[in-house]
A and B are shown apart, each in its own frame.
Chain A
């Protein structure tokens, strides 16, 4: 379904595509409508409009503190937007419509919509008191209501896919950072979300462990069906995996487009400066 969208980006990378046209091609899986987020006086997101197509891989790049992580956390319902709305498959995430009025969503509503989203965190956040297998099968068992056998089967398959089937009975403390992050990826994937958020998944890793995690993410991305929002400082990785790159600075999307265009012909000065810092290394 996402193919037409990708084609359009590739054919005509520089032109902004009219929203109405895009909607006719494919209904976005995620829509941010005029989203702002403030902490006290500090505004971290400023009137963000963003649509993500089903299966689309979007990479978010930009300096630290530019609001990338917040954008993902709003979608995971870890933070509440200050204003604006977010839709997942056309359904409001943070709001409910009651008698034609928008009211704040309750936990039940959040629970219902949130099931479409999964997230991998910078610091893994594995459950330290559970074995690797239990880390991965606990949510399928309790949230999806699968039987113990089904949940275990799914979890084992997932762990095989990230190359950790031999660590099933280990505890997180016994794993390396790269292995922990692969478990975290399996734990999120096993829920079969339609959108996966990766919040700087390799930033907390020793340099020599970054590769194994990126490989796993690339493999998942190549399977295609799942939309991904990747927040990363790994530019080569973003170039490889993403259909579209968003450059964030000071709470705004400054520039966006397919990787080729963003990395080879950056328009804005800020993006040029940002990229030149990476190229020097």
Chain B
């Protein structure tokens, strides 16, 4: 039995990893754009960022996914399953990520900005040399959580029949009816995929936290 099943699991695993990686990269950029947007001195930018964040935090990923895949076509926008999946996942994670970015940036002590001003750094130099390096260290644990959340969220795309891990598992189960084995394997695979993300973040955190106590 396993000889037949494992290749399909492998295909599903690849899709899940791809979804996670693509979405994580896009979410990362969205998080910074929206996080900085909410701190902008321009009201319009703040408003735009806040609207995005509140909409995507305030509705469920499940509904967002269905809306993008099933409702957008009514407006003439038909997206491939993979694109719809990545879009929903990254928009959702980006919204949560932007709060991480915003909150860590404002938690860097004010004295740091003042010292940077006293050294006559430009606003961009203050951000790049002084604020961001300190904020990044604080962001990492939260970003680590977010990526794991994202990985687990990918299971939802099976509902738009994208053949990720969960989709493969449900299809297999309905044909061979061995839920205990199949879902145990599923559990293990998700856990194994999450490990490098967790470890990777820990490693970066360690590298970046030089000089701290």
CB-CB under 8 A from B160, the residues of chain A are: none
Task: Enumerate B71-128 residues with CB–CB distance to A below 8 Å.
Answer: 109, 111-112, 114-115, 117-123, 125
Minimum C-beta distance from B62 to chain A (A) = 40
Tell me whether A125 and B210 are in contact in the complex, defined as CB-CB below 8 angstroms, given that A139-B121, A143-B119 are known contacts: no
- The B contact surface, by secondary structure, is helix
- Chain B's interface size range is 20 to 34
Of A127, A143, A172, A173, the most chain B CB neighbours within 10 A belong to: A127
CB-CB under 8 A from A142, the residues of chain B are: 121, 125, 129
**Stretch of B20-28, B130-138, B187-195 that contacts chain A:** B130-138
A77 at the binding interface (Cβ < 8 Å): yes
CB-CB under 8 A from A138, the residues of chain B are: 119, 129
CB-CB under 8 A from B112, the residues of chain A are: 125, 127
**Stretch of A2-10, A128-136, A236-244, A260-268 that contacts chain B:** A128-136
CB-CB under 8 A from A139, the residues of chain B are: 119-121
Q: Which residue of B lies closest to A170 (CB)?
A: B211
Tell me whether A171 and B111 are in contact in the complex, defined as CB-CB below 8 angstroms, given that A128-B134, A139-B119 are known contacts: no
CB-CB under 8 A from B117, the residues of chain A are: 76-78, 114
Of A111, A119, A139, A184, the most chain B CB neighbours within 10 A belong to: A139
Q: How distant is the Cα of A191 from the Cα of B115 in the complex, in angstroms?
A: 13
B213 at the binding interface (Cβ < 8 Å): yes
Q: Which residue of B lies closest to A191 (CB)?
A: B119
CB-CB under 8 A from A173, the residues of chain B are: 211-213
Minimum C-beta distance from A2 to chain B (A) = 23
A contacts with B, residue count (CB < 8 A): 30
Q: Which residue of B lies closest to A118 (CB)?
A: B118
CB-CB under 8 A from B123, the residues of chain A are: 107
Contact across chains for B125 and A129 when beta carbons are under 8 A apart: no
CB-CB under 8 A from B121, the residues of chain A are: 139, 142-143
A187 at the binding interface (Cβ < 8 Å): yes
Residues of A at the B interface (CB closer than 8 Å) are: 76-78, 107, 111, 114-115, 117-119, 121, 123, 125-131, 138-139, 142-143, 171-173, 184, 187-188, 191
Closest 6 CB pairs of A and B: A171-B211, A125-B115, A139-B119, A125-B111, A119-B118, A129-B133
Given contacts A123-B111, A172-B211, A187-B115, 5 further A-B contacts (CB under 8 A): A78-B114, A118-B118, A127-B112, A127-B129, A171-B211
Residues of B at the A interface (CB closer than 8 Å) are: 109, 111-112, 114-115, 117-123, 125, 129-130, 133-134, 137, 210-213
Listed by A's residue number, 19 A-B pairs whose Cβ atoms lie within 8 Å are: A76-B114, A76-B118, A111-B122, A114-B120, A119-B118, A125-B112, A125-B115, A127-B129, A127-B134, A128-B212, A129-B137, A129-B211, A139-B120, A142-B121, A171-B210, A171-B212, A173-B213, A187-B119, A191-B119
